Structure 1
Amino acid sequence: MPTKMHSCSDSPVKTYQFRICYEDTDAGGIVYHAKYLGIAERARTESIRQLGGSVAELYRTHGLILVVRKMEIQYRQPLFLDDVVNVKTCLISVLKASCWLSQIFTKANERVTEIKLQLVCLKKRNYVPSPFPDNWKKIFAALSETQTS
């Protein structure tokens, strides 16, 4: 896994906006570190959905699931109750049965958290890696930083 955090440029990528709620914070009103994982999951799921994909359909139609294999998180600044956060999801690279994504959390256009993760596509029946379906190529192309439209 690359150790340098990815820069998720300003090229066209999908962005998910999220408001920090009371349940996301600890007793001090700061977002609890594990909550970032849930926010990132929602951002990935919604980005895929906006691009015509569905994790539920991937399972129903192809018998495939997506699992996080590796993840690296860099916390730069805390998030607080009622903050509005944008999460950009960008494709770093894709192979037949796995991909690397970058997710950049920003508040007021300032980077506060960075996540880099590897997703693996598995057959649900035996948890063996399986290639992504062909229709997912357009999803990855749309998440790619090299997209120009």
Structure 2
Amino acid sequence: MDILIRPAQPTDYEPLGEITARAYLDDGLLAFGDEDDWYLTELKDVAKRARTAEVLVAAEDNHLLGGVTYVPHGGPLAELARPGEAEIRMLAVAHEARGRGVGQALVRACVERAAASGSDLVLCTQPTMHTAHRLYERLGFLRVPERDWHPVPGDDFTLLTYKLTL
């Protein structure tokens, strides 16, 4: 399979938003609700992300397979990156493309960008995302439990933190 990783183009925004939202909905990953969830709107708004971060897509024969948002340190979309760190956000792979190395290719592209900028790489993930955890660990990311956090104050929902030191 020839997976091309490239920056998202405006024509990719809507289909990538749908892939991302569908992945989170179908996998039960919307921690805050369902199709009316405010975060679903954020997941669909690729154009907004692309204004302040680097959105990458995976494509095969001009067919979108998934995408990820790479956030350099200090970017407005950074949730947990500290000085010297970049962050991965909203990694999603279309259901029909899973198990083909798409997620790995997208994460590796982010690793390359972080390494080129001299940054380490961090990300947060939900406790139920076991397949993603295995991918991150296979690529050298380590759990950093002291940086786990609660996106909604007062709620017991926790996001797990992983870090790759480059």
Query: TM-score w.r.t. structure 2 length?
Result: 0.29
User: RCO higher in 1 or 2 (8 Å CA, sep ≥ 6)?
Assistant: 1
Structure (1 or 2) with the larger CA radius of gyration: 1
More helix by share: 2
